Structure 1
Amino acid sequence: MSNSAGGEQPIIIKKKKGGHGGHHGGAWKVAYADFVTAMMAFFLLLWLLNVTTSDQRKGIADYFAPVSVSRETSGSGGILGGQTITAPGAQISSSSPVSADVPSSGPPGQQAEESENPDPDALASTQRSGNSELTGQGPADTPKDPASQRPNENRLEYQQRLEQMAKQLGVPGQKMGEKLSDFAERLNEASQTLQIQKTEAQQFQQAASEIRQAIQSIPELEPLAQSLMIDQTPDGLRIQIVDQDRISMFPGGSAQMYGPTRALMGQLAKALSKLPNRLSISGHTDSTPFTNGGGRDNWDLSSERANATRRALIAGGIPESRIQDVVGRADRDLLVPDQPNSPRNRRISMILLRDGVAPSN
C-alpha cells in the first residue's frame, strides 16, 4: 500500500510471548523421580536384609568388594600397552628404535584373513588374561560383579567407570565396598533390635492379660482389680498397685501386707516367672508426715514396703537373681502431683525391664 508521500508503509509485526511454561518447567519431576527411585532402592535393601541369612548378606557385601585399579595412564588401553615392538619388556628409553617390521608366521594374505576373523577361543583367552593382569586374580576366580572389568572395555574405560561409581556413592573407590558392608551390618543390627522389641512387646501384652484374668478369677482379689495399673514404658512392662480411699495394701505406717495383697503378689509372681526379664521394684508414699516420729519417715516406709514386695515375689517363685534393684522413693514421684496427700500416691511399682535397659528410677 502506498502512503501520501508515494512510499510504502512499513509493516509492523507484534509477537507475544505465549504460555507460562517457562515459570513452571518439568525439572521438579526429574528430581521427584530420582527421590522415589532412591526410596524404592532403600526399602528394597531393608527387605533384603530381613529375608536373607548371614551367609547371603556376606555374599552381597562381597559382591560390592572394591577392586585395586592401577592409576597409570601411560600406554594404558593403547595398542602397544607401554611396550616396544622390537623387544619384550617395558620401554625405558625414548631413543629405543621403533620398527614396523612385525614378525609373521605365514603369508600376508593369511595374516589379513586371521586378523579379520579371529578365533573366538583365542579372543576369550586374551580377555581373561587381561582381566587377570588387571585384578591380580586367575581366570577361575575373576569377580562377576559390577566392579569387574567387562570384556568389551579397555583398561582406561574400566578405570573411568570405577571412578564414576565411587563418585555416585560419595566415597573413594577403595573404600566403597567397606562402606556398603558397614551399612549392611548396621541395618542388620537395627533389624534385629526391632525384632527383639516386637517380641518383647508381645510377651508383655500376654503377661498383662494373664495377670488381669488371674485377678478376675479369684473373688477375694476383686476389690484390688481397680488398684492394678499395667502399661508399657520405654523401660519395660510397668505394674503398679495403687491404694484407694478405703482399700489399702498395707496398714498405716506399716510394711506388713494385708492378706489380699499377699495373694495378689503370688498371682503376679506366677505370671512374671514365665519371662526371663529382670525386675525393678520401687515403693512410694504420699506426703503425709509421720505423727509419732520415732526416727522413721516416708523414706524408711517406702523402702520397707518395696523390700516386702521383693520377699513376696521371691516366695511366689521369682528367682532372686532377677531382682535388679529395690528402692524407696517416699513422696518424690507422686502419681497425683496436684494432690500430694491423695491415697493414690501410695503405691508399689514393679517394672519388667527390657533386655539391655537399665532402670530409670
Structure 2
Amino acid sequence: MRRRNEKDFEVIVKRRKKGGHEESHSGAWKVAFADFTMAMMALFMVLWVITPQNPKQTAAAEQITNPLVDGGAGVFDGNSKTPLEMPAAPTQPNKVESHEPTKETGKVEPVKYSSPAELKELADLMQAMALELDAQANVEVQVVPQGLRILIKDDQQRFMFERGSVQLNPHFATLLERLAGVLAKVGNKLIISGHTDSVPYKTVKGYNNWNLSGDRALRARNVMVDSGLAPGSVLQVAAQADVMPLRPDAPEDGANRRIEILMLTAKAEGLYREIFGEQQARVDYSSEKAELVIPTIEPPQTL
C-alpha cells in the first residue's frame, strides 16, 4: 500500500442533523407554559373574589344592618327605638303600609304583615323571647290562615292566674309586657280571648266561667296597653269560657286554661269588619217589621 503525502489528505467534515434533539430545545413549550400560568392566575382571582367573608365579620355586619338585632333583648321590650322590620325580600306584595317615618310627625308607622313568610319571622321572634324568659312551656305561636295565633298558657309549676281569680302571676305579667313590646311595632289588629277549663265556678253567685274568662282576657289586654301597646290595636276582647278547649277529650284539664291573641292579617281584618261594621247591607228586625238597610257611601271630597 502506498502512503500518501500529507498534502494528499483531504479532510471531510460531515454533520448530521438530529431533528428530535433540536425540537426539544425549541421555544414552543414556553408559549404553552405562559398560557397555562395565565389561566391559573385567572382561576385564583375568580376564587378569591367569590370566597365568602369571615363568618365573624358577616355576623357583625348583619348585627349592624339588621334592625331585628337591636342590642339583644331591646327588640322585645319597650326600650328599643328601632322599629320592628322583617328582612327585605325581592318583592313584598302583602305589605299594606310602608315603614318610613311620616313627614308630619317623624314617627315610624307600624307595618302590617300578611304573608306566611313574614308571620313566620315574627313567630320566631316570639319564640326567642319565650326562651329568654324561660317561658317555652307557656308560649305557643302558630301561623294560621287568619294570621298569627299566640297561646299563653299554664305549665306544671306555674299558673297564669290564681285559681278562680284574675290575679296575674308576675312571671306571666313580664311575658305579656315583653310581648306588648313586639306587637306595639306591628300594625296588625288583635283579638284577645280568655279560655277556662270546664270546672264550674262556685265562689260567687251568678259569676261563672264566662265572666272569669272575659275578665282574664281584659286583664291581659290592660297589662299590654300599659306596657306600650296602642289601645286601638285591639279590635275585640272575648270571653270563651270552656267552649273552645285545647283538649276536648279532657275538658277539665288545666291545659285548657289560656289567653289567646290572634293577630289578624289584612284580609282577616276586612272580613271581621264586614261582620261587625256598619258598611254592609243588612236587615234590621224588630217586633213591627224587617227593614233592609243599605249604607250610603259618600263620594270622596275633591279639593
TM-score normalized by structure 1?
0.43
Question: Match of 1:241, SS?
Answer: strand
Larger of the two Rg values belongs to structure: 1
Separation in 1 of the partners of 2:115 and 2:171?
A: 30
1:121-148 Cα shifts (integer Å, max 9, x gaps):
xxxxxxxxxxxxxxxxxxxxxxxxxxxx
Give the counterpart of 2:189 among 256, 278, 284. Answer: 278
Taking a change above 3 Å as real, the CA distance of residues 324 and 248 of structure 1, as seen in their structure-2 partners, is: same
Q: Which has the higher strand share?
A: 2
Alignment partners' CA distance in 2, 1:272 and 1:261: 16
Aligned residues: 164
Aligned match of 2:235:
324
Gaps of 5+ in 2: 1-91, 96-112, 276-303
Shift of 1:285: 0.2
1:354 aligns with 2:269: no
Q: Counterpart of 1:334 in structure 2: which amino acid?
A: P
| Alignment-mate amino acid for residue 174 of structure 2 | A
Match of 1:290 in 2: 201
Secondary structure of the 2:136 match is helix
Runs of 4+ in structure 1 off by over 4 angstroms are: none
- Out of 175, 194, 204, the residue aligned to residue 264 of structure 1 is 175
Higher helix share: 1
Partner of 2:289: none
Matched residue, 1:196: 94
Q: RMSD of the TM alignment (CA)?
A: 2.2
**Aligned pair in 2 of structure 1 residues 199, 245: CA closer, same or farther (>3 Å)?**
closer
CA shift, 1:199, in A, is 5.4
Matched, 1:241 2:152: yes
Contact kept in structure 1, 2:202 and 2:208, CA below 8 Å: no
Q: Which amino acid aligns with 1:196?
A: N
Partner residue in 2 for 1:215 = 130
Deviation at 1:234, TM superposition (A): 1.5
Distance 1:209 1:255 in 2: 29
Give the counterpart letter for 2:125 in structure 1. Answer: E
Q: What one-letter code is carried by the residue in structure 2 that aligns with 1:237?
A: L
Gaps of 5+ in 1: 1-193
Contact kept in structure 2, 1:306 and 1:328, CA below 8 Å: yes
Alignment of 1:1-361 (within 5 A): 195-196=93-94, 200-217=115-132, 221-222=133-134, 224-357=135-268, 358=271
Distance in 1 (CA, whole Å) between partners of 2:254 and 2:124 is: 26
Instruction: Give the share of equivalent positions with the same residue, in percent.
Output: 31
Q: Distance in 1 between matches of 2:156 and 2:251?
A: 14
Q: Following TM superposition, by how much is the alpha carbon of 1:195 offset from its aligned partner in structure 2, in angstroms?
A: 3.2
Does the CA-based 8 Å contact 2:114-2:147 persist in structure 1? no
Distance 2:114 2:167 in 1: 37
Q: Residues 245 and 343 of structure 1 are in contact (CA less than 8 Å); yes or no, is this contact kept in structure 2?
A: no
Q: Using the TM superposition, give the Cα deviation of residue 203 of structure 1 relative to its aligned residue in structure 2, in angstroms.
A: 2.6
Aligned partner of residue 130 in structure 2, secondary structure: helix
Residue 126 of structure 2 contacts residue 141 of structure 2 at CA under 8 Å; is this kept in 1?
no
Question: Aligned equivalents of 2:253 and 2:234: distance in 1?
Answer: 29
* Distance in 1 between residues matched to 2:225 and 2:203, nearest whole Å: 32
